Amino acid sequence: MVSLLEFETTLRPLESELEEARRVGGNGHVDSAQERLTDQLRRIYSDLTPWQKVQVARHRERPYTLDYLQWGFTDFVELHGDRSFAEDRAIIGGPALLNGRSVMVIGHQKGRDTRENISRNFGMPHPEGYRKAERLMRQAEHFGMPVVTMVDTPGANAGLSDEERGQAEAIASSIATMLALRVPTVAVVIGEGGSGGALAIAVADRILMLEHAVFTVASPEAAASILWRDAGKASEAANNMRITAQDLKYFGLVDDIIPEPVGGAHRDHAAAASSVASAINSCLQGLSELPIDELLAARYAKYRNIAFFSE
């Protein structure tokens, strides 16, 4: 059983019922207990508030980039290092096969436990991470491989050493490079799309979002402390900033929503990965048919024409 979030506590008795049915035996009992549990999950997850989605997106058992690589791709070879300073384990990348096609996969990577989280800095990249990402994007372009990115970070790391090594420049340069890549690009927001540190690898021809992922201009906690000097008002900020896949699709800022298994991607990594892989695959099929100059013109227009002002 996965660990329950605070708004999932009504599942606990249903889980106990299911366990009891399994212990006692009898297929009919198990099936109906399972059905009640699934119904309740479906009810809860069809009506999540933005703040609840933040918690789902941050769930410790949610699939990360490596899980999608394991279940949705084959032959992944991880490549390391930015060639100027260090290897950053908060962003991983390398070529892999998706439906028989070579693609360059680049994604934020969180850790599953404390030790791994320390080595991956909780998925918060240093400048080296973005420079590695940019290096791999250029390599993909050189070999004509489409670029697939997976976005899942609380944000870029914000230490003094990051300033010394040019965090802002690294992010800006990664965005600029990705916007100009002469290969098709697809980004999938799989968990937390946290601010500029997420956007650095998200400016693709198609931006997809998992059903319960979030994408924010600043974390709800940071936004609340900027707006109201009170990080405790994070849920209010989350509700106001339009951070859900559904809201962002409505505003046309993301292209498509990938449905998650009932009860969230963390309840079935394999099923989530298979949906993600097939969504990416169908995007790439469409994008690959376009002549490259048309693709670049469309990408330019996609970002240049974001409006939402008055005149």
Partner 1 sequence: MKEIFKRHPRYAHAPEAFEGMPDNLWVRCPQCRELLYAKEQESTLRVCSKCKYHFPVSAHERIAMTVDEDSFREYGQGVRAADPLGFRSPSQNYSEKLTEYAQEAGTNEAFIYGTARIEGQDVVIGAVEFKFCGGSMGAAAGEKIARAMDLAVEKRYPLVIFAAGGGARMQEGVISLMQMAKTLAALDRLRDAGLPFFSVMVDPCLGGTTASYAMMGDVTIAEPGAYIGFAGKRVIEQTIRQKLPQNAARAEFLQEHGMVDLVVPRAELPATLGRLVRLFVSCNREERRPVGEPARV
Q: Which residues bind partner 1 (CB under 8 A)?
A: 156-160, 162-169, 171-173, 175-176, 179-180, 195-196, 199-200, 203, 215-218, 222-223, 226-228, 236-237, 240-243, 248, 251, 253, 299-300, 303-304, 306-311
Residue 179 vs 262, nearer CB to partner 1: 179
Residue 19 vs 230, nearer CB to partner 1: 230
Residue 56 vs 248, nearer CB to partner 1: 248
CB of 127 to partner 1, least distance (A): 9
Residue 52 vs 281, nearer CB to partner 1: 52
Name which of 136, 201, 184, 143 is nearest 282 in CA terms: 184
Residue 239 vs 278, nearer CB to partner 1: 239
Count of CB atoms within 10 A of residue 191's CB?
Answer: 30
SS3 (DSSP) at 31: helix
Residues 6+ apart with CB under 8 A from 253: 207, 215, 306
CB of 31 to partner 1, least distance (A): 42
CB of 311 to partner 1, least distance (A): 5
CB of 56 to partner 1, least distance (A): 18
CB of 105 to partner 1, least distance (A): 21
CB of 93 to partner 1, least distance (A): 20
Count of CB atoms within 10 A of residue 196's CB?
Answer: 18
Residue 241 vs 272, nearer CB to partner 1: 241
Where does residue 260 rank: exposed (0-12), middle (13-18), buried (19+ CB within 10 A)?
A: buried
Cα 77 to Cα 302: distance, rounded to the nearest angstrom = 32
> Can you give the three-state secondary structure of 75-88, one letter per residue?
CCCCCCCCCCCCCC
Measured at the CA of 55, the angle between CA 216 and CA 171, to 5 degrees, comes to 30
